[in-house]
Homo-oligomer: A and B are copies of this chain.
Amino acid sequence: MENVVKTDRRILRTKQAITKSFLELFSEKDFEQITINEIAERANVNRGTIYLHYSDKYDLLDKCIEDHINELISLCTKQENPSVSQGMVQEPKPIFDYFRDNFPFFSAMFSNQRVFLFREQLLNFISVNLMVKMKKPDDQPDIDLELKAQFMASAFIGIVEWWIRHQMPHSTQFMADQVKSLFENNQVYLANK
């Protein structure tokens, strides 16, 4: 599960430079207009080096999305406090913090029409994450769990998207509190209530 062998520093540095350069360009111009040459030059990396890690710019975009999704996943799983057995979803503030700290990326993602993949993966991740911990069929046995998870996940992403697109007009704490309230209205109770 863990990477036992630490990856070479050069690889990490290079990938960082490439994705940083790429995401900058991504927020500046249309995806199709971006060339490998540009990315390489701005990253101060040889053009060929990019091909050592990514097959093309589509793959590069995919990997960027994947990385952030994985970051979100580890953020959520790592947060598992000892009271896991209660089946509660975790505190949303760290999630919002992550969105805020990576604002350029998510802003680019939400403002770019082409990126179905991102929305889809994010939605899937959220809904799965919600559903796993939401097993409370006591009160309303007639509501499908998966359906409800999708419903709540969509709502959550909708709020996030609105928040990002409006340049984060509220603090992450405020957003987290709002989300918690909205979730509680729908019988989804969060940890550290």
Residue of B nearest to A40 (CB): B9
Does A155 belong to the interface (CB within 8 Å)?
A: no
Q: Does A45 count as interface, using CB distance less than 8 angstroms?
A: yes
Can you list, as one digit per residue, whether each of A1-38 has a CB less than 8 Å from chain B (1) or not (0)? 00000000100110001000000000000000000000
CB neighbours of A13 from chain B (8 A): 17, 44
For chain A, residues 31 to 57, give those with C-beta under 8 angstroms from any C-beta of chain B. 44-46
On chain B, the residues within 8 Å of A9 by CB distance are 44-46
Number of interface residues of A (CB under 8 A): 7
**Whole-angstrom distance between the alpha carbons of A44 and B7 in the complex?**
13
Query: From residue A154, how far is it (CB to closest CB) to chain B in Å?
Result: 39
CA distance A46 to B9 in the complex (A): 8
Q: How far is the CB of A118 from chain B (nearest CB, A)?
A: 27
Contacts of A45 in B (CB 8 A): 9
Chain A 68-103 per-residue mask, 1 if CB under 8 angstroms from chain B, else 0: 000000000000000000000000000000000000
List 6 tightest A-B contacts by C-beta distance, closest first: A13-B44, A9-B44, A9-B46, A12-B44, A9-B45, A13-B17
